[in-house]
Structure 1
Amino acid sequence: MEFSVSENALKTFARSITCLARLGNELVIQASSSQLVFHTLNSSRSAYQSITFKSSFFDVYTISGAQVQCSVLLKAVCSVLRSPIASVEHLTVQLPDPDSPKVQWTLKCYNGMRKAYWITCNVEPNIQHLSLDRRKFPSNFVVRPRDLNRLLGNFQSSLQEITIIATEATSVPSDAAGEIGGKAVELRSYIDPTKENDSTLHTQLWIDPTEEFVLYTHSGGPVDVTFGVKELKAFLSFCEGCEVDIHLFFDKAGEPILMAPKFGLDDGSSSNFDATIVLATMLTSQLREANSSEPPQAVTEIPAQAVAGTGSQAQQERCRANVSEHPSDHTRIWSELSGSAARSGSGAEGRHVQRERNVGASEQREIQRISRVQISKDASTRENVAAGPTLYPKCD
């Protein structure tokens, strides 16, 4: 396998790596004669992203054999791209043989300098495939990146999860018409029902889709989806850099939300690359909780990193992470969406969920139940070593 990229295509390529690195730790590379595909999956299996490049995207694109696949650490690839892209004439990536233990990344700079990196790869990666038909999502909207940035600016920067509530403009209750008018979409900061004395600022933002969105489609009753803000902002930065609008597809609480650029490889556009990000959403509907007279269920958490151990050990790991996140794992298990558990030799184990419940004696009396998905053939624990420069920058 060998491909070379330069100029504006190199900038798009670098943005793609940055976006992938903000979601996962491992980059899975799949190359065929017609396209190159990058995949990543976060450790909690709640976020998946794939970026597809047509062969015409590259200056040089050569594949020996029907298909080549391998995986490398994203932080190693980020170290290759830490050089200012404006100073790079072209980037060349070579895998001499399908069984080669290392991938060579070479930068040729305008000042005549040539930088070569050898990154250790795994030639038998744990491939995760997820294919969702965008046409089957009943609700979707298209928004410009700058407009979405402006809307998200109304929320606290520390917000971990956001809820989108979609209604028909004609279905707004008459008693609320004076308050929100024809604003059919609401953005709401997620409220953790287990926080009795929560002093966090909660924000609700009503939106008129005819004013803020390029396109808005929703029919039927109100629906809501709650998902992570971190992944949304990562994809927002990618689309903003590529100067394309964001297309969001969703169904209801508990079903995945899909985001893609406005163009796509399957819609007849002339673009030579495409991107897709799929996020798990909270199973519990915020609308149902708001209308229910029963006490809300305890909110569970998925940490940003997979945590080994149970009980006090898991609690110590979360403390060391120093993260105040409260994303929920009331989400569909990723193996159910991707079918990876059925393909693995230990499918039952792949769907196994380890539950724990820690009851604190603090003033807030916070109740948390932590759910862990045990992943078979977990490739995230492998140690990959990059030859050449070994100083890896932090990819946020």
Structure 2
Amino acid sequence: MKCIITGGNVKALGKAVHSLSRIGDEVYIQPLKEGLSLRAVNASHSAYACFLFAPLFFQHYAPGESGPIPDAGPVRCKVFMKSFLAVFRSLSLLEKTVEKCIISLHFCDSRLRVQLHCKYGVVKTHDLSFQECESLQAVFDTEQCTQNLRAPPRLLVDAVVHFPLTLAEVTMGASPGGKLTFRSYLEEVTEAGQAMVTELCLSEDEFQVFHVQQETQITFCLKEFRGLLSFAESSNLPINIHFGIPGRPAIFTLEDPLLEVHLVLATLAEPDGDSSQMTNCTPKAIVPAYDFTNDDIDAYMIAMETTCAGGEGACPSPSTDPRDLDSNHEETVPGTPPQKKFRSFFFGSVLNQSQTLLYSGSGQEVLAEDSEGES
């Protein structure tokens, strides 16, 4: 794989890496015929992001047919986010000095090479170690979401700027009457009088599309959402928001002839017997703590993350026992959101064809085949 990025697109790539750095500790790189895919998932498995750069984004784009092993399928690898981010650390420096960026994969020594061709003939070469892995893929369908919004990025940026950076989650409420609210979500407060709750309202007139069928209130991670807003603002692309009932994932998308962006966030499920009510712009009692125990993101998110078998240097599969594929397994995961219980909706290994037949024959339900393309 080899691609060449020139001009302002170098900074756009850097902004995408900065946005992904708010999601996870690793970036998954997969060159496809449709373009170069960069993906990430957070530690608590509640957020997934994908940037797909079309071939027109590059001055030259050669994805390559397969890896070093013939008939092994498309190239898939992952690198540490900190290493990849360090290459694009200073966005202002990229814009002022870098004229061309060349990214290539070298399988002989398992290196991802990023070369920055700067002014005055200066060339900066970064060789990053990578691991071959299976694809990280999210399965979702925006057509199944009953609520759809589209807004200019500046509108949402100005809305979330009022919330403190330490706030983990925000609650968004929508009403068919043409009102959208953002409200601070506080999980546990010992003394309600010491809590500061911020809430603001946006009217339907400020949106390009406002399609809401029923009053809905969803709570999602704010940190990852800020990362998408930052990229959308720099690229001046409107944000499409697709969501449904609480507990089902919210999908945020950006579309352009040169790139596609998807951000999928888990939402908090409301307690049993509680109806979804849109918040008003008046003070109200702090709602009880929610958890992700009953989230339904399993139906949308399937990720496969293993390194290729063989060789002492290969990274072992996180899961080798078929029992570990149980999507109802609960675990407490640190990270964002803090200390909540999640159902494990990311599989630990990939089933090959023989394993698929084995499990299907023994009553083990196969939820999804290995996907090599985009959702």
Structure 1 residues 64 and 138: alpha-carbon distance in aligned structure 2, compared to 1, 3 A threshold = same
Answering whether residue 245 of structure 2 is matched by residue 236 of structure 1, we say no
Are the equivalent residues in 1 in contact too, given 2:189–2:195 (CA < 8 A)?
no
Structure 1 residues 340 and 103: alpha-carbon distance in aligned structure 2, compared to 1, 3 A threshold = closer
Are the equivalent residues in 1 in contact too, given 2:293–2:343 (CA < 8 A)?
no
The alpha carbon displacement at 1:372 in A equals 5.7
Task: Name the SS for the 2:155 alignment partner.
Answer: helix
Structure 1 residues 286 and 200: alpha-carbon distance in aligned structure 2, compared to 1, 3 A threshold = farther
Answering whether residue 344 of structure 2 is matched by residue 354 of structure 1, we say no
The alpha carbon displacement at 1:278 in A equals 0.3
d(CA) in 2 for partners of 1:240, 1:46: 23
d(CA) in 2 for partners of 1:333, 1:236: 25
Of 233, 247, 265, 2:240 maps to 247
Q: What letter corresponds to residue 65 of structure 2 in structure 1? A: G
Q: What letter corresponds to residue 233 of structure 1 in structure 2? A: R
Task: Name the SS for the 2:27 alignment partner.
Answer: strand
Are the equivalent residues in 2 in contact too, given 1:142–1:215 (CA < 8 A)?
yes
Structure 1 residues 281 and 241: alpha-carbon distance in aligned structure 2, compared to 1, 3 A threshold = same
Identity of paired residues, percent?
Answer: 22
Structure 1 residues 288 and 186: alpha-carbon distance in aligned structure 2, compared to 1, 3 A threshold = farther
Alignment correspondent of 2:198: 203
d(CA) in 2 for partners of 1:151, 1:258: 18
Alignment correspondent of 2:127: 118
d(CA) in 2 for partners of 1:290, 1:216: 19
Alignment correspondent of 2:259: 273
Answering whether residue 253 of structure 2 is matched by residue 260 of structure 1, we say yes
Q: What letter corresponds to residue 289 of structure 2 in structure 1? A: V
Alignment correspondent of 2:302: 339
Give runs of aligned pairs for residues 87-106 of structure 1, distance below 5 A. Answer: 87-97=97-107, 100-106=109-115
d(CA) in 2 for partners of 1:29, 1:58: 16
Alignment correspondent of 1:42: 42
Answering whether residue 253 of structure 2 is matched by residue 283 of structure 1, we say no
Q: Which runs of 5+ in 2 are unaligned?
A: 67-73, 278-285, 307-318, 350-375
Q: What letter corresponds to residue 4 of structure 2 in structure 1? A: S
d(CA) in 2 for partners of 1:297, 1:348: 37
Task: Name the SS for the 1:51 alignment partner.
Answer: strand
Alignment correspondent of 1:299: 289
The alpha carbon displacement at 1:122 in A equals 0.1
Task: Name the SS for the 2:12 alignment partner.
Answer: helix
Q: What letter corresponds to residue 185 of structure 1 in structure 2? A: L
Of 336, 341, 346, 1:371 maps to 341
Are the equivalent residues in 2 in contact too, given 1:5–1:90 (CA < 8 A)?
yes
Of 207, 215, 220, 2:209 maps to 215
Structure 1 residues 34 and 213: alpha-carbon distance in aligned structure 2, compared to 1, 3 A threshold = closer
Answering whether residue 128 of structure 2 is matched by residue 135 of structure 1, we say no
The alpha carbon displacement at 1:234 in A equals 0.7
| Alignment RMSD | 3.0
d(CA) in 1 for partners of 2:89, 2:189: 41
Structure 1 residues 33 and 185: alpha-carbon distance in aligned structure 2, compared to 1, 3 A threshold = closer
Task: Name the SS for the 1:3 alignment partner.
Answer: strand
The alpha carbon displacement at 1:36 in A equals 1.1
Structure 1 residues 341 and 7: alpha-carbon distance in aligned structure 2, compared to 1, 3 A threshold = closer
Task: Name the SS for the 2:30 alignment partner.
Answer: strand
What TM-score, normalized by structure 1, do the two folds share? 0.71
Q: What letter corresponds to residue 262 of structure 2 in structure 1? A: T
Structure 1 residues 341 and 25: alpha-carbon distance in aligned structure 2, compared to 1, 3 A threshold = closer
Q: What letter corresponds to residue 113 of structure 1 in structure 2? A: V
Structure 1 residues 341 and 3: alpha-carbon distance in aligned structure 2, compared to 1, 3 A threshold = closer
The alpha carbon displacement at 1:127 in A equals 2.7
Give runs of aligned pairs for residues 79-90 of structure 1, distance below 5 A. Answer: 79-82=86-89, 84-86=93-95, 87-90=97-100
Alignment correspondent of 1:51: 51
d(CA) in 2 for partners of 1:372, 1:225: 17
Alignment correspondent of 2:166: 158
Q: What letter corresponds to residue 27 of structure 1 in structure 2? A: V
Q: Which runs of 5+ in 1 are unaligned?
A: 170-182, 265-270, 301-327, 357-367, 379-396
Structure 1 residues 355 and 143: alpha-carbon distance in aligned structure 2, compared to 1, 3 A threshold = closer
Structure 1 residues 188 and 82: alpha-carbon distance in aligned structure 2, compared to 1, 3 A threshold = closer
What TM-score, normalized by structure 2, do the two folds share? 0.75
